[in-house]
Amino acid sequence: MKVLFVGDVVGRPGRRAVKRFLPGLIDECEIDFVVANAENAAGGFGLTPDMSDELMDYGIDCITMGNHVWGKKELIATLETNPAVLRPINYPDGVPGRGETVLPSKSGTPVGVISVCGTTFMDRLCCPFKTASAAVDRLRKQAVIILVDMHAEATSEKVALGKYLDGKVSAVIGTHTHVQTADEQILSAGTAYLTDCGMTGPVDSVLGMKSSLVMKRFLTRMPAKFEVASGPAALSAVVIDIDSAMGKASSIERITRRETEEQLISP
Ligand SMILES: [Fe+2]
Ligand SMILES: [Fe+2]
């Protein structure tokens, strides 16, 4: 079966790119299951319940989050009730929501998904390696195919988690740094891996935010409120082909779809 994994959706331009490109990609690539990281979908920080529903309507089967999961507090109710919206699994016990799930693909195959956050140059959550590994052991009883969103800053931590879970999951895909890396590969025991899936958001920006505001913060070292940039957006994703019986990946291909200026004038 083919899985599409979509990188961090940023603001209105990111949601517009999902709407514009996702349904066509699902048809064109015969996608059976779609995961998207949506931690930046609401104005760059967090996700609202309405936007979660909107993204699902475009064809996303499972939404993962990251360090911005608490950006919109109204999402907490969704995290507690909707098994298709995940927060990072390695928060301490008692935190609302879940970080692992099993959902049916479009053709009915059970697919396990785990959202996990790195801890290098990020909040000190519980160990991503041990937490994700324990979740794999639980999900394995219900699903042959397991996908992991490794939301992390440090390349080394992402590569290490990919190797650590090689052969135990179908894919480890990195998110959070918003720039797609070119190291897609099938690891030696059959896990598809990419260090960062990239961003689904405005191209003329610094990681989705208005460039002038980010530069101001770097130049002055003073607090500056960021805003999502405008203009044409790109959707960044990977298509992973997975053997449904064994759970091993056979291919991983990076995909980008970019809006034109003309499409924004006459949508
Ligand atoms: Fe992000
Ligand atoms: Fe993030």
Domain-embedded: residue 6: yes
The CATH number of whichever domain residue 205 belongs to comes to 3.60.21.10
Domain-embedded: residue 124: yes
Cα-to-centroid distance, 7 and ligand 1 (Å):
8
Domain-embedded: residue 114: yes
Domain-embedded: residue 155: yes
Domain-embedded: residue 112: yes
Cα-to-centroid distance, 15 and ligand 1 (Å):
14
Cα-to-centroid distance, 5 and ligand 1 (Å):
14
Cα-to-centroid distance, 206 and ligand 1 (Å):
12
Taking CA atoms, 110 is separated from 32, 46, 147, 163, 171, in Å, by: 11, 27, 11, 24, 15
Q: How far apart are CA 72 and CA 47, in angstroms?
A: 6
- In the chain, the amino acid numbered 234 is A
Q: Output the pLDDT for position 186.
A: 98
Q: Output the pLDDT for position 224.
A: 85
Cβ proximity of 249 and 188 under 8 Å: no
Ligand that comes closest to the CA of residue 69: 2
Q: Output the pLDDT for position 247.
A: 98
Q: How far apart are CA 226 and CA 194, in angstroms?
A: 28
Ligand that comes closest to the CA of residue 207: 1
Q: Output the pLDDT for position 22.
A: 98
Domain-embedded: residue 264: no
Domain-embedded: residue 83: yes
Q: How far apart are CA 264 and CA 238, in angstroms?
A: 25
**Dihedral angle sign, alpha carbons of residues 138, 64, 87, 196:** positive
Cα-to-centroid distance, 23 and ligand 1 (Å):
22
Domain-embedded: residue 266: no
Is 176 catalytic? The answer is no
Taking the mean position of all CA atoms in its chain, how far away is CA 32? 17
Q: Which domain holds residue 164?
A: 2-259
Cα-to-centroid distance, 258 and ligand 1 (Å):
18
Cα-to-centroid distance, 162 and ligand 2 (Å):
18
Ligand that comes closest to the CA of residue 44: 1
The 3-class SS string of 67-80 reads: CCCCCCCCHHHHHH
Token couple for 170 = 């179908």
Catalytic residue among 68, 151, 176, 178: 68
Cα-to-centroid distance, 155 and ligand 2 (Å):
14
Token couple for 7 = 């990188």
Count structural domains, the chain. Answer: 1
Cβ proximity of 39 and 68 under 8 Å: yes
Give, for all 267 residues of the chain, the pLDDT tens digit: 999 999 999 999 999 999 999 999 999 999 999 999 999 999 999 999 999 999 999 999 999 999 999 999 999 999 999 999 999 999 999 999 999 999 999 999 999 999 999 999 999 999 999 999 999 999 999 999 999 999 999 999 999 999 999 999 999 999 999 999 999 999 999 999 999 999 999 999 999 999 999 999 999 999 889 999 999 999 999 999 999 999 999 999 999 999 999 999 875
Ligand that comes closest to the CA of residue 70: 2
Closest CA to 7 of 39, 31, 49: 39
pTM exceeds cut of 0.85? yes
Ligand that comes closest to the CA of residue 41: 1
